[in-house]
């Protein structure tokens, strides 16, 4: 080593970043990579769009950098996780198609499941777009990252759902004659859901978007989808649909967990926030319930859909019971 | 149809025309105001990426990159890095983080609001790429922070320190662009197509010489993602120019404006890295600028698009002329504020002077006397901040501090000062956008050095002169 190199004991050097000093435990890798990185509200330029301002949401008095995603995922761990997941799901779906397993499924089941999965792919895409807005405008590094990873997970689900819908149908769709899109646009079972998604895409308060989408819609529909896909696929010996449902759920469980953490943080910060959340919930929950009811009616699968809906309602109530909204 | 194309086409299929709310409520036209195009479905992502491909490629890259950095540190690589280079990285990494984090949010808006479905999908991947880059920069700072001072409070310094304010301004400006196509021109064309080659290819070649293999590795893995972003920018620019003649005026303005801002805020300060903070040198900055920006970017872009009337950036000649002095002038200026910095400065040695004499014919005449006086014992310290440009937030010291091109304009009854014709021209076009900033020079008027340091969150022995030099 030459004298121009850095001595190994170069004075007293810090072990972590200054914004973690004074804490009892050292920050996790997730925290060092995520927390405290959002750069300020005092923008140096002024446009109608703006950068970030406190009034981008009605929620107030929240220390936004206190947010922690319970999954503690950051890019490196997320991409490794999803690479493994995609290999597993991809292998199953490929085998189901190439090994002739799809051909052996009940034609009526294939038709219904193709329509359901294809339509829901559009909902996933819509949710991804809504969360892009959160990612762009929210005031918290941690919420922004959780939203961003959700955006990508939803894109994953949308692409895989459409792929599986095509496989069940047996013919890849053309853009101008797409039965999945036709179902999304016209099938009565999807219309309340599409309406709720389109309304969520017009919201301007990013805090409200999280409530409208992740609490009122995803909070009901994702447990429903999991139950429906797993239970009915088991009865139909449809490994592909079961895997799709399970993989989507693993991701969605993370999204619901960070949403719960977000709601807890906001309500604990200021009681007035509870009333704001309640107002948003009251506005958007009927749309979520209507979306669920229409799906149950449109895709009953015997009484499996109703049973799945009941599980979803119970889970939603249980997951968010401590928040009192 | 290949499997990739089939997967990509599925993503394009996911668009639908809303009917429960007006289309304009979901895709407000203000986001692409003044840009004309008949069929947005015609826009295609040149890479036709699917989620499955994306995570597969990126996981492979990360599997190669992170263990290499860990091994570099574990086996003493950080301790063997050249100390001067390390001081330069204290400025470079926070600035890069700023850029990537701003790009992350900016691409998120493009992916939400761009009128072309495929462009929205492509911006998805860009946005998550930028998360990768910003966190990779944090990984580097996290590693270096365990060995030396000057990395531990970078997130605060980017809010409060005058050295990082230009970067903050630049990337907030991109994030806040009202028109998503301005974001695409600013980010995908100027930042990514023009400047990432200079930053992520040019700089690591010098970093390796100064024993920063981890940093070089990090820059190169970042650049491997940028290739996709460049292609998206090029595809968008060509599509818009081909699609409607009326787009030319706006696109030319954005090219002119962002070229100057990138030159001023990235190009000029970056010159200090290969020319000063690199003890072992390779290409001088002026030649790097000529190679990566003038010969590769400008010549390539204009050759490709001149048929549609696109002209070279308006202030190209000014930028080329300035590169003779810009890095030298800024280094001198920072040396004068070394007691207000979080990194350390130093006096160029004989080896540096030889290099300057060889590559910068006017260096001795324009900058030599300053360093002679320093060597004679004048510390050259200044007690208050220099005048900062209203637009770029850099000190008004260009091309050389003795004869700067200071400009001023009156707006709303107030005089605003600028470092150059370029910045003044930009302000003249969008005064409301650029009049908001109150420079730290004005905020800290009348404060003494201790108060200035406190405002900028500088504590302990940060700043000053690198002892061994």
Write down how long chain A is.
Answer: 325
Residues A237-263 have pLDDT tens digits of: 999 999 999 999 999 999 999 999 999
Q: The domain containing residue B320 runs over which residues?
A: 31-329
Q: What is residue B444's three-state secondary structure? A: coil
Its sign, for the CA torsion B379, B385, B391, B392, is positive
Q: Is-contact B119 A62, C-beta < 8 A?
A: no
Q: The domain containing residue A116 runs over which residues?
A: 94-323
Mean pLDDT of A266-294: 96
Give the pLDDT of residue A4. 47
Residues B40-87 have pLDDT tens digits of: 888 888 888 889 999 999 999 999 999 999 999 999 999 999 999 999
Question: Structure pTM?
Answer: 0.95
- Within the 197-236 window of chain B, which residues sit less than 8 Å (CB to CB) from chain A? 211
Q: Is-contact B124 B111, C-beta < 8 A?
A: yes
Which chain B residues are within 8 Å of A76, Cβ to Cβ?
62, 66, 132, 135
With 50 as the cut, is the pLDDT of residue A9 above it?
A: no
In this structure, how many other beta carbons lie within 10 angstroms of the beta carbon of residue B243? 18
In whole angstroms, give the CA distance from residue A26 to residue A49.
38
Which H or E run contains B454?
A: helix B449-455
**Of the candidates A102, A133, A53, A38, the residue with the CA atom closest to the CA atom of residue A239:** A102
In whole angstroms, give the CA distance from residue A20 to residue A5.
28
B248 domain-assigned: yes
Give the pLDDT of residue A7. 43
ipTM of the prediction greater than 0.85, yes or no: yes
In whole angstroms, give the CA distance from residue B334 to residue A90.
55
Cα separations in angstroms, A320 against A109, A214, A218, A313, A325: 34, 12, 13, 11, 8
Residues B400-448 have pLDDT tens digits of: 999 999 999 999 999 999 999 999 999 999 999 999 998 889 889 999 9
Contacts of B161 (CB under 8 A, 6+ apart): B342, B456, B457, B458
Residues B268-280 have pLDDT tens digits of: 999 999 999 999 9
SS in 3 state form for B125-153? HHHHHHHHHHHHHHHHHHHHHCCCCCCCC
The residue of chain B with its CA nearest to that of A53 is B176
Mutation target to probe the A interface, by most A beta carbons within 10 A, among B6, B16, B456 is B16
Q: Is-contact A236 A96, C-beta < 8 A?
A: no
Give the pLDDT of residue B121. 87
Which chain B residues are within 8 Å of A6, Cβ to Cβ?
78-81, 83, 86, 147-148
Q: Is-contact B228 B287, C-beta < 8 A?
A: no
Q: Is-contact B433 A47, C-beta < 8 A?
A: yes
Question: Quick check: A135 and B158 CB within 8 A?
Answer: no
Residues B178-227 have pLDDT tens digits of: 999 999 999 999 999 999 999 999 999 999 999 999 999 999 999 999 88
B448 domain-assigned: no
What band does A175 get if pLDDT is binned at 50, 70 and 90? low
**Of the candidates B411, B434, B423, B389, the residue with the CA atom closest to the CA atom of residue B173:** B434
Give the pLDDT of residue A12. 62
Q: Is-contact B334 B380, C-beta < 8 A?
A: no
Q: How far is CA B114 from the centre of its chain?
A: 23
A24 domain-assigned: no
Work out the minimum CA distance from A209 to partner chain B, whole angstroms: 13
Q: Is-contact A266 A279, C-beta < 8 A?
A: no
According to DSSP, residue A5 is labeled B
Give the pLDDT of residue A27. 94
Question: Quick check: A6 and B155 CB within 8 A?
Answer: no
SS in 3 state form for B47-115? CCCCHHHHHHHHHHHHHHHHHHHHHHHHCCHHHHCEHHHHHHHHHHHHHHHHHHHHHHHHHHHHHHHCC
Q: What is the mean pLDDT of chain B?
A: 94
> Is the minimum CB–CB distance between A290 and chain B shorter than 8 Å?
no
By the 10 Å C-beta count (0-12 exposed, 13-18 middle, 19+ buried), B414 is classed as exposed
From B20, B56, B145, residue closest to A86, measured CB to CB: B56
Task: Give the rounded percent of residues in chain B with a pLDDT score beyond 90.
Answer: 86
- Residue whose token pair is 């076009």: B429
Residue B257 phi, psi dihedral angles, 5° rounding: -65, -50
Q: What is the mean pLDDT of chain A?
A: 92
Q: Is-contact B167 B195, C-beta < 8 A?
A: no
A87 domain-assigned: no
**Which range among A219-223, B229-233, B256-260, B285-289 shows the weakest confidence by mean pLDDT?**
B229-233
A283 domain-assigned: yes
With 90 as the cut, is the pLDDT of residue A79 above it?
A: yes
The count of domains in chain A is 1
A187 domain-assigned: yes
Which H or E run contains B3?
A: helix B3-13
Question: Quick check: A83 and B58 CB within 8 A?
Answer: yes
What band does B92 get if pLDDT is binned at 50, 70 and 90? very high
- Paired with A5 in beta bridges are B82
A216 domain-assigned: yes
What band does B12 get if pLDDT is binned at 50, 70 and 90? confident
Q: Is-contact A19 B156, C-beta < 8 A?
A: yes
**Of the candidates A239, A240, A314, A155, the residue with the CA atom closest to the CA atom of residue B128:** A155
Which chain A residues are within 8 Å of B468, Cβ to Cβ?
3-4
- Residue whose token pair is 């001081």: B87
In whole angstroms, give the CA distance from residue B336 to residue B373.
12
A168 domain-assigned: yes
Residue A309 phi, psi dihedral angles, 5° rounding: -65, -40
Q: Is-contact B340 B452, C-beta < 8 A?
A: yes
CATH of the domain at B167: 1.10.620.20
According to DSSP, residue A38 is labeled S
Q: What angle do CA B57, B61, B62 make, to 5 degrees?
A: 120
In whole angstroms, give the CA distance from residue B225 to residue B219.
10
Work out the minimum CA distance from A301 to partner chain B, whole angstroms: 26
Helices (H) and strands (E) in chain A, counts: 11, 0
Cα separations in angstroms, B456 against B154, B163, B385, B443: 11, 10, 12, 11
By the 10 Å C-beta count (0-12 exposed, 13-18 middle, 19+ buried), B469 is classed as middle
- Residue whose token pair is 């294809």: A118
Q: Is-contact A155 B51, C-beta < 8 A?
A: yes
Q: Is-contact A218 A289, C-beta < 8 A?
A: no
From B13, B83, B176, residue closest to A45, measured CB to CB: B176
In whole angstroms, give the CA distance from residue B121 to residue B31.
17
What band does A14 get if pLDDT is binned at 50, 70 and 90? confident
In whole angstroms, give the CA distance from residue B274 to residue B271.
6
What band does A40 get if pLDDT is binned at 50, 70 and 90? low
Residue A84 phi, psi dihedral angles, 5° rounding: -65, -45
Give the pLDDT of residue B8. 80
Q: Is-contact A265 A67, C-beta < 8 A?
A: yes
CATH of the domain at A222: 1.10.620.20
Cα separations in angstroms, B443 against A84, B121, B156, B296, B384: 52, 43, 17, 41, 11
Residues B283-339 have pLDDT tens digits of: 999 999 999 999 999 999 999 999 999 999 999 999 999 999 999 999 999 999 999
Residue B399 preceded by cis peptide, ω within 30:
yes
From B14, B139, B172, residue closest to A44, measured CB to CB: B172
B37 domain-assigned: yes
B445 domain-assigned: no
- Greatest Cα pair distance, chain A, in angstroms, is 79
What band does B251 get if pLDDT is binned at 50, 70 and 90? very high
With 60 as the cut, is the pLDDT of residue A229 above it?
A: yes
What band does A13 get if pLDDT is binned at 50, 70 and 90? low
The count of domains in chain B is 1
**Of the candidates B206, B54, B62, B43, the residue with the CA atom closest to the CA atom of residue B133:** B62
B422 domain-assigned: no
- How many inter-chain contacts (A to B, CB under 8 Å) are there? 239
């Amino acid at each position: 080593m030459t004298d121009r190199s850095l001595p190994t004991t170069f004075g007293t050097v810090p072990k972590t970043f200054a914004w973690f000093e004074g804490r009892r435990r050292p920050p996790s890798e997730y925290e060092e990579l995520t927390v405290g990185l959002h750069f300020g509200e005092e923008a140096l330029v002024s446009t109608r769009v703006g950068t970030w301002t406190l009034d981008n949401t009605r929620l107030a008095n929240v220390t936004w950098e206190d947010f922690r995603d319970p999954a503690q995922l950051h890019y490196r761990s997320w991409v490794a996780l999803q690479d493994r997941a995609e290999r597993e799901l991809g292998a199953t779906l490929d085998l189901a198609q190439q090994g002739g397993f799809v051909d052996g499924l009940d034609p009526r089941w294939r038709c219904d499941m193709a329509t359901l999965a294809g339509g829901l792919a559009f909902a996933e895409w819509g949710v991804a777009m809504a969360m892009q807005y959160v990612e762009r405008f929210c005031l918290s590094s941690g919420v922004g990252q959780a939203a961003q990873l959700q955006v990508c997970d939803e894109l994953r689900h949308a692409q895989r759902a459409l792929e599986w819908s095509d496989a069940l149908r047996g013919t890849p769709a053309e853009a101008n004659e797409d039965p999945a899109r036709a179902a999304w646009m016209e099938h009565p079972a999807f219309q309340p859901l599409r309406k709720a998604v389109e309304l969520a895409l017009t919201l301007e308060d990013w805090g409200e978007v999280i409530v409208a989408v992740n609490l009122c819609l995803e909070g009901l529909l994702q447990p429903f989808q999991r139950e429906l896909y797993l239970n009915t696929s088991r009865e139909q010996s449809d490994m592909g649909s079961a895997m799709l449902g399970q993989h989507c759920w693993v991701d969605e469980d993370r999204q619901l967990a960070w949403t719960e953490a977000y709601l807890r943080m906001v309500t604990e910060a200021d009681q007035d926030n509870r009333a704001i959340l309640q107002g948003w919930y009251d506005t958007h929950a009927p749309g979520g319930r209507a979306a669920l009811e229409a799906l149950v009616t449109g895709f009953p699968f015997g009484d499996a859909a109703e049973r799945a809906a009941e599980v979803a309602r119970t889970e939603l109530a249980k997951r968010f019971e401590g928040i009192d909204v | 149809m290949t499997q990739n194309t089939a997967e990509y086409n599925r993503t394009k299929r996911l668009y639908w025309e809303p009917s429960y709310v007006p289309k304009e409520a979901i895709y407000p036209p203000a986001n692409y105001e003044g840009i004309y195009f008949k069929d947005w479905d015609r826009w295609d992502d040149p890479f036709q990426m699917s989620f499955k491909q994306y995570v597969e490629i990126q996981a492979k890259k990360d599997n190669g990159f992170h263990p290499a950095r860990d091994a570099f540190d574990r086996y003493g690589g950080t301790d063997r890095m050249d100390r001067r280079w390390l001081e330069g990285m204290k400025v470079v990494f926070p600035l890069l983080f700023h850029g990537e984090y701003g790009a992350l949010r900016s691409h998120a808006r493009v992916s939400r609001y761009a009128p072309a479905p495929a462009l929205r999908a492509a911006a998805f991947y860009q946005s998550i790429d930028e998360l990768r880059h910003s966190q990779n920069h944090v990984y580097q700072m996290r590693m270096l922070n365990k060995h030396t001072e000057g990395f531990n409070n970078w997130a605060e310094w980017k809010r409060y320190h005058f050295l990082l304010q230009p970067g903050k301004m630049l990337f907030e400006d991109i994030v806040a662009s009202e028109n998503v196509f301005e974001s695409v021109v600013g980010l995908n064309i100027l930042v990514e197509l023009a400047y990432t080659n200079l930053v992520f290819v040019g700089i690591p070649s010098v970093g390796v010489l100064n024993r920063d293999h981890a940093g070089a590795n990090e820059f190169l893995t970042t650049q491997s993602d940028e290739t996709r972003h460049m292609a998206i920018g090029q595809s968008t620019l060509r599509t818009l120019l081909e699609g409607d003649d009326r787009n030319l005026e706006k696109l030319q303005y954005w090219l002119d404006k962002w070229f100057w801002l990138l030159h001023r805020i990235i190009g000029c300060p970056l010159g200090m890295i290969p020319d000063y903070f690199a003890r072992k040198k390779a290409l001088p900055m002026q030649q790097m600028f000529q190679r990566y920006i003038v010969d590769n970017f400008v010549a390539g872009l204009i050759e490709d698009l001149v048929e549609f009337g696109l002209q070279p950036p308006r202030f190209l000649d000014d930028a080329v002329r300035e590169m003779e002095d810009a890095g030298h002038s800024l280094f001198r200026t920072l040396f004068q504020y070394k007691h207000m910095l979080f990194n350390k400065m130093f006096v160029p040695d004989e080896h540096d002077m030889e290099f300057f004499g060889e590559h910068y014919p006017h260096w001795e005449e324009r900058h030599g006397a300053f360093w002679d006086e320093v060597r004679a014992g004048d510390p050259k310290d200044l007690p208050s901040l220099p005048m900062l440009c209203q637009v770029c937030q850099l000190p008004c010291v260009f091309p050389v501090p003795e004869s700067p091109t200071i400009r001023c304009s009156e707006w709303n009854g107030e005089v605003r000062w600028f470092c150059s014709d370029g910045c003044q021209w930009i302000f003249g076009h969008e005064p409301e956008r650029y009049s908001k900033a109150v420079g730290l020079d004005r905020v800290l008027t009348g404060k003494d050095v201790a108060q200035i340091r406190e405002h900028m969150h500088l504590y302990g022995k940060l700043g000053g002169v690198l002892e061994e030099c």
